[in-house]
Amino acid sequence: MSLIVQKFGGSSVADAESIKRVAKRIVDTKKAGNDIVVAVSAMGDSTDELLDLAHEVTPIPAPRELDMLLTAGERISMALLAMAIKSMGYDARSFTGSQAGMITDAQHGAARIVDVTPGRLRDALDEGAIAIVAGFQGFNRDTKDITTLGRGGSDTTAVALAAALGADICEIYTDVDGIFSADPRVVPKAHKLERVSSEEMLELAAAGAKVLYIRAVEYARRHGVTLHVRSSFNNNTGTIVYNPGATSPYATEILNGEPVEEPIIAGVAADLSEAKVTVVGVPDIPGKAAQIFKIVAKTNANVDMIVQNVSAASTGLTDISFTLPKSEGQQVLTALTNEQANVGFAGLQYDDQIGKLALVGAGMRTNTGVSAKLFESLFEAGINIEMISTSEIRISVVTRADTINQALRVVHTAFGLDSDDEAVVHGGTGR
């Protein structure tokens, strides 16, 4: 008998029919003799709808109340799913995040899990019941308040439960057949990956591949949890996210062993959520970059790429550009403007029409010519590169936002990633 954690995303439980379909799937796994803990997301796009509603009431909703509101979405789906399973003659019990023992820090909207105490889930399992847990939410012991784990956080709930319960596998059910070499909504010729290392998945998730939430991948990597990302709309094998050297027996059986050689490129991802700030006319003397980024750091903004231009010999002035989430742009501009006289720069430019493309693959470490090929494919498509950054297994470029989808497709083709078949998207709105 195995212990399986299954997570169903919003598109898999979008309406009553879908909830019944998912319930049947859970019951089938139970009938096969497994213990099951389920993490479930809010129905369809209901989290976005609740968020819209909050912003209709006030432009800046109070973080505590926003978490109260958003966690209601997962309470609805957990109860409906438990009802559906019970009506099929199997015992099921739903639990909120706090009932399930998801203990977090106090940061509303982006809380981190600090402990998991799943006593009530174990009791339910011992009594033969299926435990259904509301994803995306937790509880802080100091403030005694309800928290949320960040958008896409039900993935983290599932992984944290799998780690705490020592599950044999954590299955992430979604509206596509697995993790693809690119978002199949944008690149129809994307191919499904049989496996991807947690290291590569971390880079893809950080670069905007929202199929898995980055914090869930981090958690899985840290706790050695193997993930199986697959469709809730069919029974096909999906993609295994493995930790090299520590792949679970369940995954090894699916994969027929460890990979012989890692592919050079796992996939491409794009991110349209960032903006570029350029600090113009910065005196090119030691200490100025430190001064600027200290001001930025005080706002808690998450700076991503940084580029400093060569200074013009005649003026001794340089420009420094960096990218950051659009949502943090305004506060950083304000902070820098307040210190403009102190730092002595000439002005600020803000550009929120950028897109970031990332090419990811563990094989990049040992293969040369990857960046040349990337730049050439973009050049041939007439796409201008504005910024570049690299890690050991990733190359990222910034382009105009309106060229990003075309960029994804040409790079995908250039690296021989195109499949002969069109990828199927089974549901969801892509919101």
Contacts with ligand ADP, residue ranges (CB under 6 A) = 9-12, 41, 152, 174-176, 179-180, 182-185, 209-211, 267, 425, 428, 430
Which residues, 11 to 50, sit near ligand ASP by CB under 6 A?
Answer: 41-42, 47
Q: Give the list of residues 6+ apart from residue 284 with CB closer than 8 angstroms, or none.
A: 311, 316, 317, 318
Among 44, 73, 184, 281, binds ligand ASP (CB under 6 A): 73
Q: How far is the CB of 175 from ligand ADP (least distance, A)?
A: 5
Q: How far is the CB of 52 from ligand ASP (least distance, A)?
A: 12
Q: Are 140 and 67 in contact (CB under 8 A)?
A: no
Q: Give the list of residues 6+ apart from residue 314 with CB closer than 8 angstroms, or none.
A: none
Strand partners, 3: 35
Q: How far is the CB of 384 from ligand ADP (least distance, A)?
A: 24
What character string, x for contact with Mg ion (CB under 5 A) and - otherwise, covers 137-166? ---------------x--------------
By beta-carbon proximity to ligand ADP, the closer residue of 37 and 43 is 43
Q: How far is the CB of 73 from ligand ADP (least distance, A)?
A: 12
CA distance linking residue 159 with residue 112, whole number of Å: 13
> Per rule CB under 5 A, is residue 361 in the interface with Mg ion?
no
* Neighbouring C-alpha atoms within 13 Å toward the C-beta of 361: 23
Neighbours of 328 (CB within 10 A): 18
Partner from Mg ion, ligand ADP, ligand ASP, none binding residue 44, C-beta < 5-8 Å depending on class: none
By beta-carbon proximity to Mg ion, the closer residue of 11 and 377 is 11
Among 97, 101, 135, 138, binds ligand ASP (CB under 6 A): 135
- 16 by Cβ neighbours in 10 Å (0-12 / 13-18 / 19+) ranks as exposed
Closest-CA residue to 232 (of 15, 25, 20): 25
> Per rule CB under 6 A, is residue 152 in the interface with ligand ASP?
yes
> Per rule CB under 6 A, is residue 184 in the interface with ligand ASP?
no
Partner from ligand ASP, Mg ion, ligand ADP, none binding residue 136, C-beta < 5-8 Å depending on class: ligand ASP
Partner from ligand ADP, ligand ASP, Mg ion, none binding residue 322, C-beta < 5-8 Å depending on class: none
By beta-carbon proximity to ligand ASP, the closer residue of 118 and 135 is 135
Q: How far is the CB of 16 from ligand ADP (least distance, A)?
A: 17
Q: Which amino acid is at 410?
A: V
By beta-carbon proximity to ligand ADP, the closer residue of 139 and 180 is 180
Residue 185 assigned as binding residue: yes
Partner from Mg ion, ligand ADP, ligand ASP, none binding residue 209, C-beta < 5-8 Å depending on class: ligand ADP
- Tracing tokens 């013009």 back to the chain, one arrives at 312
Residue 370 assigned as binding residue: no
By beta-carbon proximity to ligand ADP, the closer residue of 171 and 175 is 175
Q: Which residues are annotated as a binding site for ATP?
A: 7-10, 174-175, 185, 210-211
Q: Which residues are annotated as a binding site?
A: 7-10, 47, 74, 174-175, 185, 210-211
- Which residues in this chain contact ligand ASP in the complex, by CB under 6 A? 9-10, 41-42, 47, 73, 135-136, 151-155
